[in-house]
Structure 1
Amino acid sequence: MRIRTLFIRVRGALLLLLLLAFVSRAAAEIDRLPDIRLPDMGSSADRVMTRSAEARLGKVFMRQVRKALPVWDDPLASDYIETLGRSLVEADETAAGRFTFFLIDQPTVNAFAGPGGYIGVYGGLVLAANSESELAAVMAHEVAHVTQRHLMRAFEDQSRLGIPTMALMIAAAVLGAQVSPDAGAAAVAGVQAAAIQRRINFTRENEREADRIGIQTLARAGHDPFAMAGFFDRLSKATRVYETNAPEFLRTHPVTAERIADSLGRAERFGARQRPDSLGFLLTRAKLRERSYQRAEQSVAHFNETLRKGRFRDEVAERYGYALALQRARRFRDAKNQSDQLLAGHPSQAEFIILDAELNVSLGERETALSHLRQSVSLFPSQWPLRVAYADALLAAGEPARAVSELRSVVRLRPGNAMLYDKIVQAATQAGDQATVDRFRAEKLYVEGDLEPAIRQLELALRRREVPYHDAAQIQARLDLWREEEREEQRRGNQPLRAASP
């Protein structure tokens, strides 16, 4: 009897071992299979609000962010971060809708995703990234949070709130995490950020999902898929140095040894890729490094020392930072000597063309600056930072009407940019073109989520007698569109943010 019992137990153990071996092998084979896209069956987030309502929520959210954080509207830096972000969105097969990438001029090492595809990247994160792939890794992770609608899922139980209230809550949570609970609460009229912060903190499962999709996006965009695990590991080790003052990214996106190991395992499926950093990445880092010094003299001393001792990753980028530091110190002739060297080696680089033009203006050579910028715009018409610089030079030369014309051309290339609308308003004000002031002030209000004031401002523009027929037709078409949007919101009666059908 004992022998029979022993035989049964041994046989059971052998069967269990065989079963485990089979399951393990099957799991390994499945893991090696390519990712299969299943049909989009919708998610619980779709029951919270429609995509159009989320886009409206994003505008209101962004207005709150601008009130509390120093959003950096520098055309060159914005163009770089948008170009990098766009390449990641194009590589993510799950991405849909509009994405807006923007920089925040603070040394915090973090990034965040807001509703409607608004993704903020801190200057400190750009400086902390050892490579462009590491920066892309964090951005791809945030893109995945948007595509999987993690934020909407986190606020699903708040579906009875209207857009303004919900935008305040989300902004309070984000600002409470990025700045401080007090700053977040103050920025949103008393909403307690600390009380709702846990609603926005992504769950462990959401983080794993964002890592998985982000690594896949990295590989498809041509970046090193190991960059995500490498960046996480480096930040995690830095915690020992920071102690209680850990990088903000670790507080909002907790990193564990298991998560790093999982990221490494997923990256193995694609293999390591050596990709040189783009000059745009290096120049943006140099610009941020220069801005990180409170006084211009400190910045000049830093870049002078690194260039003298050869302690830099890229001499061109380091010399660019030095030229910017000299410009801020008002040593224009010395800065011009540096920009001449940069232009000689890279005559088509927008950063160097713009810097040289700014220095020419500072040295009283406005005609030279205008001539060079006009030539550059004709050669590279799609490079909108060059065209903005040309408009700025026209304004400095006392030609606001021409500046308005140039900026309106840029807006046609990049609609929905609040910074550009603001520049047009300033230039049109100097030109005495009140109809254009009214029109683009309305556009700025609309982009920032103020629909009703935007409509009133556009109605004011339409009543101006001096409005040309073609402009009046465009204004009327825009006004009709916005009024329909307003009627739709009134039909909802600011009701709960649910989809049309459950």
Structure 2
Amino acid sequence: MPRLVPLLLTALLLLGLGGCATNPVTGKADFVLMSEDQEIALGRRLHPQVLKEIPAYDDPQLAAYVQGIGERLASHSHRPGLIYRFTVLDSPDVNAFALPGGYIYIHRGLIAYLNSEAELAAVLAHEIGHVTARHAVRQQSMATATGVLGAVIAGRSGLPAAGDLANLAGTALVRGYGREHELESDRLGAEYLARSGYDPSAMLDVIRVLKAQETFERRLAKEEGREPRSYHGLFATHPDNDRRLQTVIAAAGRLTANGGRRERQTFLHAIDGLVFGDSEREGIRRGNHFYHRALDLALEFPAGWTLHNQPDRLLAIPPARDGFIQFSMTDLNRRLTPREFLIRRLGLKRLSHGEAIEHLGLPGYTAIAETDTAKGRLPLRYLVLFRGDKALLFIGGADPGGDPYRYDARVLATARRFHPLSEAEQPLARALRIRLIRAEENTRFAELARDSAIPNHPEERLRLLNGLYPDGEPRPGQWLKVVE
């Protein structure tokens, strides 16, 4: 890397990309390619895109609560002149992130697993740290510069491999900065916590929450045969006994009196009624069943299959992970027959085993069409039903390594089990919510799990929700989060 630095400077001078700005945190000059006005404009442009992908959680009281905490923290930050916007996203994921210019997001899924206002403040303060230190801007600038460097090296040597080498070096450099950025955000977050009157050691509690989540998620992913999902930042990868982290928290602790506030009960009452798991907007999964109130539909997939509720489709995967059934809906805009829909709208060719069908009075059509995949041409079952101005589309298939038609009957059965919600199913289409109870002398999580509406691993999830994973039990009189 030292040999690459002169070339980097040369590249910047040649292309006029060089730029320095005073870091709001350190007071030192940073290499950046974006002014503060451009940074704010970038966040303003990206914010609507985030909300289009993941809408804000519809709870004005919770939104005001989170905004108030965030503003208190931001007022003690190194960039108090920014207007910060704190948004709770309607997502069950355990995550939080920041955009340039003061746009900060926390998923309701992470809020559910926190256990005090100080822990919530710790997450927000960490993300504020990314904004105040302009981490996104610095990373973007370095990535741009290293890309330019790769082009210069490749041009001088005439060897594409040299460009690849420079890109690898640049990637390592950016990732290295990323690791340091996370620790810097920890330090800044701890400072903002303390100056706002919170206990900065709440950051350690958040890390323990995330570590417990990571342990459980790895177990769950192994059971479901998928890659584990994890919190985005290194904030989650610190061990809670990390010496550097403990040092910055101890330093921040000297900025507050009496150790700082926790506000556990205030926080718990603020999240009483918080949606847990799937939202009604996206539909509710219960085992191998799916219910959607606004769309007035119920679906039943094969027993034992795992449902993945994505923004534009519902995907069911068998235990062997060697096939799929997909359900989606789309608008009808032309007066086509169901068969014409498959051909003209989906662009399918060479339909075979085609058949006009009717289900619950809805016209439809089903056929098999070969589709190009990474593993070659794969025969897939398509079935479409017309319901008013909507097309209900079922697609399924199996890995061509064996019988490619082995799940064909299950695709057809899934489509034929579609029906409007019955009166008995209406409650099943409602979202689960967090409620508070007081633990009694003999309250145990195993008993609470038997009465819980949590569809899978209820005992483990209740322990996670209450910060007592993997084997803790409640104390008499303790406020507990349960799910109803």
The TM tier, using the shorter chain, reads: 0.3 to 0.5
TM-score, normalised on structure 1?
0.41
Please identify which structure carries the higher strand content: 2
Superposition TM-score, scaled by structure 2 size: 0.42
